Amino acid sequence: MEFTEKVLILRTGKFRESDLWVRLLSPSKGIITAFAFGGCKSRRRFCGCLDTLNQVLFRIRQHPRKKYYSLEEGTLINAFIRLKNRYSRLGMAVNCLRFLQHIHIYPEESSAIYSLLLDSLHILENGEEVSSFFPLLFKARLIFAQGYKPYLDYCASCKKDLMAINRPYFAFTEGKIYCPGCLKLATQAIETNFEAISFLNKLQQAGPKEWVVWNPPPQVRQNCAKLVDAFGQYHLGLS
């Protein structure tokens, strides 16, 4: 069976003298590994296509019996040249790819995650200013896209509004917040502050175009990083 699709290349490697394996993000199938037979030498079938961070229109053959994919030919859509030549931005992009490759993506999630990564790469390439906080925001949105969206508007027990909670606690195993009076009902909760919880709430409603200039104070950044790391480690094994 063959299909044609625009994909993003996450990683490549050599496995024989003239052949490559290519890990790519497909909007219909999630993360898959395909083989580019003759990819090291073929200029006609894969001219300039087989580099990490490229967006490529591939014709892909699926081999059901042997359970692998092969790349038949590709057309380069976007090489993100400016991004690759800006080393601080490239470092952020590589960070995002590393997060992405450590999770299992189900087919029903793949389109949204593909769009998230593609939008993020466009922002990293073209944004005039991009906060160094960007990879953590990507990681948080990636976790939320996996179906682990937290509920942060009110205490999970007494329903007290977030704005009325002096010291909120984030129960990362549940994805909920608790006020100090209800803390005994929470499991594995982290004390945080209103600003960090509000920031994560804001993040759930916004995309990369909005993140680009977000640069919260150091304390909020540290709190958000701690919450996102704990949440991701518990639910997805991301550290």
pLDDT tens digits, 176-216: 999 999 999 998 899 999 999 999 988 888 888 888 778 88
Shared-domain flag, residues 143 and 196: yes
Q: Structure pTM?
A: 0.88
Shared-domain flag, residues 36 and 88: no
How high is the pLDDT of residue 239?
55
Side chain identity at 26, as an amino acid letter? S
User: Residue 233 — pLDDT band, cuts 50, 70, 90?
Assistant: confident
Which of the two residues, 15 and 164, has the higher pLDDT score?
164
Give the whole-angstrom CA distance, residue 4 versus residue 19. 21
Packed helices 134-145 and 194-205: angle between N→C axes, nearest 10 degrees = 70
The whole domain housing 68 covers 2-79
159 domain residue, yes or no:
no
User: Residue 68 — pLDDT band, cuts 50, 70, 90?
Assistant: confident
List the CATH number of the domain containing 37: 2.40.50.140
Shared-domain flag, residues 117 and 209: yes
91 domain residue, yes or no:
yes
Q: How many domains are contained in the chain?
A: 2
52 domain residue, yes or no:
yes
Shared-domain flag, residues 22 and 116: no
- Mean pLDDT value across the chain: 90
pLDDT > 70 in the chain, percent: 98
Instruction: Decide which of 23, 49, 79 is a domain's last residue.
Output: 79
Shared-domain flag, residues 53 and 120: no
Residue 135 clears pLDDT 60, i.e. is over it: yes
Shared-domain flag, residues 203 and 114: yes
Instruction: Decide which of 79, 103, 128 is a domain's last residue.
Output: 79
